[in-house]
Amino acid sequence: MNHPKRSIAFLCCICFAFNSMAARTNADDSLCISLRVANQNIECGKRMPIEPGKGLMVDRFSFYLSNLNCFSKGLMIHQVASPLLIHACERPQKLAIPSQCDSISLTLGIDSVIQEQGPLAGHLDPIHGFYWTWQSGYIHIKFEGKTISENAPSERPFTLHLGGYRGAQNCVITRGFRRKPGCNTLGIHLDELLESEVFLNKPLVMSPGPQARKMALIIADSIKLEP
Protein backbone atom coordinates (compact mmCIF):
# COMPACT_ATOMS: atom_id res chain seq x y z
CA MET A 1 0.00 0.00 0.00
CA ASN A 2 2.95 2.33 0.60
CA HIS A 3 4.59 1.74 -2.78
CA PRO A 4 2.56 4.40 -4.68
CA LYS A 5 3.34 6.98 -2.00
CA ARG A 6 7.05 6.15 -2.13
CA SER A 7 7.00 6.39 -5.94
CA ILE A 8 5.29 9.78 -5.83
CA ALA A 9 7.79 11.02 -3.24
CA PHE A 10 10.69 9.77 -5.38
CA LEU A 11 9.32 11.53 -8.47
CA CYS A 12 8.88 14.73 -6.50
CA CYS A 13 12.53 14.57 -5.42
CA ILE A 14 13.65 14.04 -9.02
CA CYS A 15 11.56 17.02 -10.21
CA PHE A 16 12.93 19.22 -7.43
CA ALA A 17 16.53 18.29 -8.29
CA PHE A 18 15.93 18.90 -12.00
CA ASN A 19 14.34 22.28 -11.35
CA SER A 20 17.22 23.26 -9.08
CA MET A 21 19.75 22.32 -11.76
CA ALA A 22 17.79 24.26 -14.39
CA ALA A 23 17.64 27.30 -12.14
CA ARG A 24 21.41 27.19 -11.68
CA THR A 25 21.93 26.78 -15.41
CA ASN A 26 19.73 29.76 -16.24
CA ALA A 27 20.93 31.95 -13.39
CA ASP A 28 22.51 35.30 -14.12
CA ASP A 29 25.83 36.62 -12.90
CA SER A 30 26.62 40.30 -12.47
CA LEU A 31 29.36 41.74 -14.64
CA CYS A 32 30.90 44.66 -12.77
CA ILE A 33 32.83 47.69 -14.07
CA SER A 34 35.91 48.78 -12.12
CA LEU A 35 38.51 51.52 -12.68
CA ARG A 36 42.04 50.58 -11.61
CA VAL A 37 45.50 52.08 -11.45
CA ALA A 38 48.69 50.85 -9.77
CA ASN A 39 46.85 47.64 -8.79
CA GLN A 40 44.28 49.66 -6.82
CA ASN A 41 40.59 50.31 -7.35
CA ILE A 42 40.08 53.99 -8.09
CA GLU A 43 37.85 55.95 -5.70
CA CYS A 44 36.58 58.87 -7.75
CA GLY A 45 36.90 62.32 -6.23
CA LYS A 46 39.74 61.25 -3.91
CA ARG A 47 43.46 61.77 -4.26
CA MET A 48 45.32 58.50 -4.45
CA PRO A 49 49.05 57.75 -4.76
CA ILE A 50 50.12 55.85 -7.86
CA GLU A 51 53.89 55.94 -7.36
CA PRO A 52 56.36 57.86 -5.13
CA GLY A 53 55.89 61.56 -5.68
CA LYS A 54 52.90 61.14 -8.00
CA GLY A 55 49.17 60.85 -7.50
CA LEU A 56 45.85 60.91 -9.32
CA MET A 57 42.33 62.17 -8.76
CA VAL A 58 39.59 61.00 -11.12
CA ASP A 59 36.46 63.16 -11.30
CA ARG A 60 34.69 61.36 -14.16
CA PHE A 61 35.02 58.25 -16.26
CA SER A 62 31.99 57.64 -18.48
CA PHE A 63 31.74 55.68 -21.70
CA TYR A 64 29.41 54.02 -24.17
CA LEU A 65 29.40 50.23 -24.21
CA SER A 66 27.70 48.62 -27.22
CA ASN A 67 27.06 45.12 -28.56
CA LEU A 68 27.66 43.21 -25.34
CA ASN A 69 27.58 39.59 -26.57
CA CYS A 70 27.87 36.50 -24.39
CA PHE A 71 28.79 33.07 -25.77
CA SER A 72 28.78 29.52 -24.49
CA LYS A 73 30.78 26.93 -26.45
CA GLY A 74 30.83 29.21 -29.46
CA LEU A 75 27.10 29.96 -29.52
CA MET A 76 25.67 33.38 -28.66
CA ILE A 77 23.35 33.03 -25.67
CA HIS A 78 22.82 36.67 -24.71
CA GLN A 79 23.09 40.06 -26.40
CA VAL A 80 22.66 43.69 -25.38
CA ALA A 81 22.85 45.49 -28.72
CA SER A 82 21.67 48.96 -27.68
CA PRO A 83 24.46 51.26 -26.44
CA LEU A 84 24.65 51.73 -22.67
CA LEU A 85 26.05 54.89 -21.12
CA ILE A 86 28.20 53.75 -18.20
CA HIS A 87 29.12 56.25 -15.44
CA ALA A 88 31.85 54.39 -13.60
CA CYS A 89 32.22 57.12 -10.95
CA GLU A 90 28.59 57.58 -9.99
CA ARG A 91 27.54 54.19 -8.62
CA PRO A 92 28.48 50.52 -8.83
CA GLN A 93 27.97 49.46 -12.44
CA LYS A 94 26.62 45.92 -12.93
CA LEU A 95 25.37 44.14 -16.05
CA ALA A 96 23.49 40.84 -15.90
CA ILE A 97 25.03 38.01 -17.94
CA PRO A 98 24.23 34.27 -18.05
CA SER A 99 26.31 32.24 -15.60
CA GLN A 100 27.21 29.72 -18.32
CA CYS A 101 28.80 32.44 -20.46
CA ASP A 102 32.40 31.42 -21.28
CA SER A 103 33.39 34.32 -23.55
CA ILE A 104 32.34 37.92 -24.08
CA SER A 105 32.72 40.51 -26.82
CA LEU A 106 31.92 44.19 -26.49
CA THR A 107 32.34 47.46 -28.34
CA LEU A 108 33.72 50.63 -26.81
CA GLY A 109 31.81 53.47 -28.45
CA ILE A 110 28.93 53.69 -30.93
CA ASP A 111 29.17 52.36 -34.47
CA SER A 112 28.48 54.31 -37.67
CA VAL A 113 25.06 52.68 -38.25
CA ILE A 114 23.72 54.39 -35.12
CA GLN A 115 25.85 57.52 -35.42
CA GLU A 116 24.50 58.38 -38.86
CA GLN A 117 20.93 58.40 -37.53
CA GLY A 118 21.70 61.56 -35.58
CA PRO A 119 20.72 62.15 -31.95
CA LEU A 120 18.37 59.52 -30.50
CA ALA A 121 16.57 58.83 -27.20
CA GLY A 122 17.33 56.98 -23.98
CA HIS A 123 21.03 56.50 -23.32
CA LEU A 124 21.67 58.31 -26.63
CA ASP A 125 19.69 61.42 -25.75
CA PRO A 126 21.84 64.59 -26.13
CA ILE A 127 20.56 65.67 -22.71
CA HIS A 128 23.31 63.48 -21.22
CA GLY A 129 25.95 65.76 -22.74
CA PHE A 130 27.60 63.13 -24.96
CA TYR A 131 26.60 64.44 -28.39
CA TRP A 132 28.81 66.87 -30.27
CA THR A 133 27.20 67.62 -33.65
CA TRP A 134 25.81 65.59 -36.54
CA GLN A 135 29.27 65.79 -38.17
CA SER A 136 31.25 64.53 -35.16
CA GLY A 137 28.57 62.34 -33.58
CA TYR A 138 28.74 61.03 -30.04
CA ILE A 139 31.50 61.30 -27.46
CA HIS A 140 32.49 57.71 -26.70
CA ILE A 141 34.54 58.31 -23.56
CA LYS A 142 34.80 61.15 -21.04
CA PHE A 143 37.78 60.92 -18.68
CA GLU A 144 38.40 63.92 -16.44
CA GLY A 145 40.53 64.61 -13.38
CA LYS A 146 44.03 65.71 -12.46
CA THR A 147 47.47 64.24 -12.00
CA ILE A 148 49.36 65.31 -8.90
CA SER A 149 53.12 65.74 -8.55
CA GLU A 150 55.51 66.95 -5.88
CA ASN A 151 57.08 69.17 -8.55
CA ALA A 152 55.58 72.47 -9.72
CA PRO A 153 52.92 72.76 -10.92
CA SER A 154 51.68 70.31 -8.33
CA GLU A 155 48.36 69.60 -10.10
CA ARG A 156 47.82 69.10 -13.81
CA PRO A 157 44.16 68.84 -14.87
CA PHE A 158 43.19 66.67 -17.83
CA THR A 159 40.01 66.47 -19.89
CA LEU A 160 39.66 63.72 -22.47
CA HIS A 161 36.49 63.68 -24.56
CA LEU A 162 37.22 60.91 -27.05
CA GLY A 163 35.09 60.22 -30.10
CA GLY A 164 34.96 59.96 -33.85
CA TYR A 165 33.70 57.18 -36.09
CA ARG A 166 34.95 57.99 -39.59
CA GLY A 167 38.17 56.87 -41.27
CA ALA A 168 41.39 57.55 -39.37
CA GLN A 169 39.39 59.19 -36.56
CA ASN A 170 37.47 55.99 -35.80
CA CYS A 171 37.33 55.38 -32.04
CA VAL A 172 34.81 52.49 -32.22
CA ILE A 173 36.76 49.51 -30.90
CA THR A 174 35.63 45.92 -30.33
CA ARG A 175 37.40 43.51 -27.99
CA GLY A 176 36.76 39.91 -26.91
CA PHE A 177 37.54 38.07 -23.70
CA ARG A 178 37.61 34.46 -22.54
CA ARG A 179 35.76 34.07 -19.26
CA LYS A 180 36.71 31.69 -16.49
CA PRO A 181 34.36 30.90 -13.58
CA GLY A 182 34.42 33.74 -11.07
CA CYS A 183 35.74 36.31 -13.56
CA ASN A 184 32.96 38.89 -13.31
CA THR A 185 34.83 42.20 -13.36
CA LEU A 186 35.67 44.30 -16.38
CA GLY A 187 38.72 46.05 -14.98
CA ILE A 188 39.79 49.21 -16.84
CA HIS A 189 43.48 49.65 -16.01
CA LEU A 190 44.54 53.24 -16.66
CA ASP A 191 48.30 52.97 -15.96
CA GLU A 192 49.40 52.73 -19.60
CA LEU A 193 47.26 55.68 -20.67
CA LEU A 194 48.57 57.91 -17.87
CA GLU A 195 52.16 57.04 -18.79
CA SER A 196 51.69 57.33 -22.56
CA GLU A 197 53.38 60.03 -24.59
CA VAL A 198 50.10 61.05 -26.22
CA PHE A 199 48.52 61.70 -22.79
CA LEU A 200 51.54 63.48 -21.32
CA ASN A 201 51.84 65.74 -24.36
CA LYS A 202 48.14 66.51 -24.81
CA PRO A 203 46.00 66.14 -21.67
CA LEU A 204 43.20 68.19 -23.28
CA VAL A 205 41.27 66.49 -26.10
CA MET A 206 37.84 67.81 -27.03
CA SER A 207 37.26 66.66 -30.61
CA PRO A 208 37.86 63.71 -32.97
CA GLY A 209 41.38 63.27 -34.27
CA PRO A 210 44.56 61.15 -34.11
CA GLN A 211 45.11 61.80 -30.40
CA ALA A 212 41.58 60.70 -29.53
CA ARG A 213 41.98 57.47 -31.51
CA LYS A 214 45.34 56.64 -29.91
CA MET A 215 43.95 57.18 -26.42
CA ALA A 216 40.80 55.16 -27.14
CA LEU A 217 42.93 52.25 -28.40
CA ILE A 218 45.05 52.35 -25.24
CA ILE A 219 41.93 52.30 -23.06
CA ALA A 220 40.35 49.44 -25.02
CA ASP A 221 43.54 47.39 -24.70
CA SER A 222 43.63 48.09 -20.96
CA ILE A 223 40.34 46.28 -20.28
CA LYS A 224 40.68 42.89 -18.63
CA LEU A 225 38.08 40.34 -17.56
CA GLU A 226 39.19 39.26 -14.10
CA PRO A 227 37.95 38.19 -10.65
Q: What are the respective helix, strand and coil percentages of the chain, to the nearest 5?
A: 25, 40, 30
Mean pLDDT (the chain) is 88
Mean pLDDT, rounded, for 64-72: 97
Q: From residue 209, give the alpha-carbon distance in Å to each of 98, 165, 170, 176.
A: 37, 10, 8, 25
Q: Which of 34-38, 56-60, 88-92 has the lowest mean pLDDT?
A: 88-92
**Residue 27 pLDDT grade (very low, low, confident, very high; cuts 50, 70, 90):** low
What pLDDT shows up at residue 110? Answer: 96
**Neighbour-count burial for 138-158, b at 16+ CB within 10 Å, e otherwise:** bbbbbbbbbbbeeeeeeeeeb
Distance CA 198, CA 201 (A): 5
Pick from 221, 209, 205, 76: nearest CA to 144? 205
30-54 pLDDT, tens per residue?
899 999 999 999 999 999 999 999 9
Going from N- to C-terminal start, the domains of the chain cover 29-226
127-181 pLDDT, tens per residue?
999 999 988 999 999 999 999 998 767 899 999 999 999 999 999 999 999 999 8
Does the pLDDT value for residue 211 go beyond 80? yes
What pLDDT shows up at residue 154? Answer: 84
What pLDDT shows up at residue 217? Answer: 98
What pLDDT shows up at residue 23? Answer: 34
What pLDDT shows up at residue 187? Answer: 96
